[in-house]
Chain A
Amino acid sequence: MYFNKILIANRGEIAVRIIRAARELGIGSVAVYSDPDKSALHVKYADESYPLNGISAADTYLNIPKLLEIAKISGAEAVHPGYGFLSERAHFITAVEDAGLVFIGPSANSVEMMGSKTGARQIMKQNGVPFVPGTTEPVEAVEEATAFASKIGYPILIKASAGGGGKGMKKIYNSDEMEEAFFSAKREALSAFGDSAVYIEKFIENPKHIEVQILGDKFGNYVHVFERECSVQRRHQKIIEESPSPVMDINTRKKITETALNAAKACNYYNAGTIELLMDEKKNFYFLEMNTRLQVEHPVTELISGIDLVKEQIKIAAGEKLSFSQKDIKLSGHAIECRIYAEDPDNNFLPSTGRITYHRLPTGPGVRVDEGIEAGSDVTMHYDPMLSKVIVYGSDRHSAIERMKIALASYSITGVQTNLSVLLWLLNNDSFLSGKYSINLLDNEFFPLVPGKWKECICDEIEDAATAFVAILRDHSRNSSNNLRLNEVMTENNWCNEE
């Protein structure tokens, strides 16, 4: 037994994912929840659940004293932070360890070295890892930002030092846009991460986002679990991820995985971590940042390697040695993940809030869903609008894509609008299918067709089905006060497709 019981300091699909891994290892799970989450899936799914009494993230999932108190009351021996929230806060790790608990993740020291993105760049610089030109220190004043930007040349990115997930990040094409973007980035950084520090980086044209998964134990053993490509992004928020990258060759893979392992060793890293890189069209790569936590997109790596990353995290935290070495890890087939967000694509992707009235997951060979919601769940404005992730495995990329199309088309979810249609548009997009897409795919090809135009390729058949459906329902509600007309047709039970 690795631990008797663990506390999961998170919510949504990742809390459910961690509870599942704990259960498989025979470990009890303790969930925590804010007021709006009191009937959320992760609360029901865990063995025990405790209220954090509050609404805002600061009062609840970021509230370290409350979390530690619950750990104590419940008798949990370790804490898994998931991703986001407190997952990359060194002082949280210290607080967990000072309370006599085990943190399921890296040491506070590693997080301090790599978690601050400007600090990570300095370490990379010392270790000869290539990185994108930019400031290695946070930029305090807008004048300083403007001066530096004109030195390295526009376009540039302003990024939150403590951040990730696109929050606190702004792209700027010229000095006129600097002031507004600079302060907006600082505000977003402050409200999302509690730290308004930002830094500046040169913007590379048409790069791919490639990242390498690594695992390290507390005895200095390291492995990589190949790369993921996460170039399909909107506002720097990943939407579709796949492994392996469709353009990766053996030499480049060798180079980037070596770089990743060096980066991990440079900060005495242990547990699961990810080294994010930008790769340009000539396959030059640049260190972007290290994520000292589990990634949202970890399932694609699990499917192509057969390694359960969350279970490995728990074992490593419990002081186990890695049970495999690099030569034991084989890449097989192809995996793709699509993130399902509650949002309205034609309305500037604004989050769609409400109650989930119906939820029916896709099934079938090679289909996995990591879900954070069920029918009856409320999608509120307080937290990230990601509802679930659909992950598919295929023997090759083509079969994985075909599986994903069918899986998404059979996903039923009502009560909120989602990005399902956008994901399907992307899965039929020529650049995506060719594998030669960059992180600008949506900006270059999708957004010019918003609003509305991107939907025009829908075939007549489905349009007629949609038209017939709403007309039949309206006609029925108009002509009768009961379900007679529906019941009439239901008495015949040959619903097969042949006649």
Chain B
Amino acid sequence: MPDYFVDLNKKEKSVRFTAPGEIEIDGRSYHYRIEEINENYYLLRLNNRVYKVNKVLGDKSNSLILIEGKYFETEVRTNLEQKARQVLSNVKQKSHHSLIKSPMPGMVLKIKKNAGDEVAQGESIMILEAMKMENDIKSPFSGIIKDIYVDEGSAVEKGAKLFLIG
């Protein structure tokens, strides 16, 4: 029974702590040591190799880390959280609603769709201006636009609700 499940760029790995300073990842065993240089920068030793690890963003369960120039979006779940997630994902599949949030702060230049329109995955739905560039916002899912939360010309913060797609 794994102690933790880790999603690494959406790829799932299972982790067990087998003894103090011993870790098993998908069945591969390592000795490890870790040193915190500061809250964003760590040294991690796995067997005989030392990695410099940067914690770029995030909290204890979701974080973006940088190792040797490679970024990893990570999510860590305990056993219990893994079970809860399975239950939740079943519920979510039934409801079929997906929220599109603003990936960055900016100004809504143009909304290309109306409520009720059908959109395909990857289709451009709005233009967000930031840092002097017009950025195409594409729908990550296919579906019908149920609701639009912003108007053209309005400023949005990162994470602001833009569209509800169902």
Which A residues form the contact surface with B (CB < 8 A)?
57, 166-167, 184, 187-188, 191-192, 344, 347-348, 350-354, 357-358, 360, 381-385, 405, 408-417, 420-421, 423-424, 452, 455, 458, 460-475, 477-478, 483, 486, 489-490, 492, 495, 497-499
Query: How many whole Å from A307's CB to the nearest CB in chain B?
Result: 30
Q: Are B65 and A470 in contact (CB under 8 A)?
A: yes
Chain A residues within an 8 Å CB radius of B28: 460, 464
Nearest B residue to A382, CB-CB: B131
Question: Quick check: is B160 within 8 A (CB to CB) of the other chain?
Answer: no
Report if B98 contacts A (CB, 8 A).
no
Q: Which of B30-70 contact A (CB under 8 A)?
A: 30, 32-36, 38-46, 48-57, 60-61, 63-70
- Whether A414 contacts B70 by the Cβ 8 Å rule is no
Please name all residues of chain A whose beta carbon is closer than 8 Å to the beta carbon of B39 when the two chains form the complex: 357
Q: How far is the CA of A268 from the CA of B144 in the complex (A)?
A: 60
Instruction: Kindly provide the distance from the CB of B126 to the nearest chain A CB, expressed in whole angstroms.
Output: 12
Please tell me the number of chain B residues within 8 Å of chain A, measured between CB atoms: 72
Extra A-B contacts (10), CB below 8 Å, given A467-B13, A492-B33? A348-B137, A385-B131, A417-B71, A464-B13, A465-B53, A469-B44, A470-B6, A472-B44, A495-B35, A498-B48
With A424-B70, A498-B48 already in contact, the answer to whether A350 and B3 are too (CB < 8 A) is: no
Contact call A452/B9, Cβ cutoff below 8 A: yes
Complex contact A465–B131 (CB within 8 A): no
Q: Can you list 7 A-B pairs with a CB-CB distance of less than 8 A?
A: A350-B104, A350-B135, A409-B68, A417-B64, A458-B70, A463-B72, A475-B17
Q: Is the CB of A188 within 8 A of B60?
A: no
**If A412-B54, A414-B54, A475-B17 touch, does A348 touch B78 (CB 8 Å cutoff)?**
no
Q: List, in ascending order, chain B residues with CB within 8 A of A469's CB.
A: 34, 42, 44, 51, 53, 65, 67
**Which B positions have Cβ atoms within 8 angstroms of A?**
3-4, 6, 8-11, 13, 15, 17, 21, 23, 25, 28, 30, 32-36, 38-46, 48-57, 60-61, 63-72, 74, 76, 78, 103-106, 109, 127-138, 158
A414 with B66: in contact, given A184-B134, A468-B46, A497-B48 (CB under 8 Å)? yes
Q: Kindly provide the distance from the CB of B5 to the nearest chain A CB, expressed in whole angstroms.
A: 9
Which residue of the partner chain A has the closest CB to B47? A499
Query: With A350-B104, A465-B44 as given contacts, are A471 and B23 in contact (CB-CB < 8 Å)?
Result: yes
| Cross-chain contact A477 with B60 (CB below 8 angstroms) | yes
Bound Cα distance A351, B135 (Å)? 9
Q: Which residues of A contact B3 (CB under 8 A)?
A: 471, 475
Report whether B60 and A466 are in contact in the complex, using a CB–CB cutoff of 8 Å: no
> Provided the pairs A192-B132, A463-B13 are in contact, do residues A472 and B35 lie with their beta carbons within 8 angstroms?
no
Interchain CB contact (< 8 A) of A353 among B76, B78, B104:
B104
Contacts of A473 in B (CB 8 A): 34, 55, 60
Contact A411 B69 (CB under 8 A): yes
- B66, B106, B134: the one contacting A420 at CB < 8 Å is B66
Contact among A351, A467, A486, A492 with B130 in the assembled complex (CB-CB below 8 Å): A351
Whether B60 lies near A489 (C-beta < 8 A) is no
Chain B residues whose CB sits within 8 angstroms of the CB of A467 once the complex forms: 6, 8, 13, 15, 25, 74
B38 touching A358, Cβ below 8 Å = yes
Q: CB-CB < 8 A to B13: which residues of A?
A: 463-464, 467
Given contacts A381-B104, A409-B68, contact A188 B41 (CB under 8 A): no
CA distance A352 to B30 in the complex (A): 34
Question: A406 to chain B: closest CB distance in Å?
Answer: 9
CB-nearest residue of chain A relative to B3? Answer: A475
Instruction: Name the CB-closest residue of A to B62.
Output: A470
CA distance A381 to B135 in the complex (A): 12
Q: Are B35 and A420 in contact (CB under 8 A)?
A: no
* Cβ–Cβ < 8 Å partners of A466 in chain B: 8, 53, 65, 67, 70, 72, 74
CB < 8 Å neighbour of B35 from A187, A461, A474, A489: A489
Q: For the complex, give the distance between the alpha carbons of A385 and B69 in Å.
A: 18
Say yes or no: A191-B129 contact (C-beta < 8 A), given A414-B54, A468-B44, A489-B33: yes
Please judge, given known A-B contacts A350-B103, A417-B56, A495-B43, whether A455 and B136 are in contact too, CB under 8 Å: no
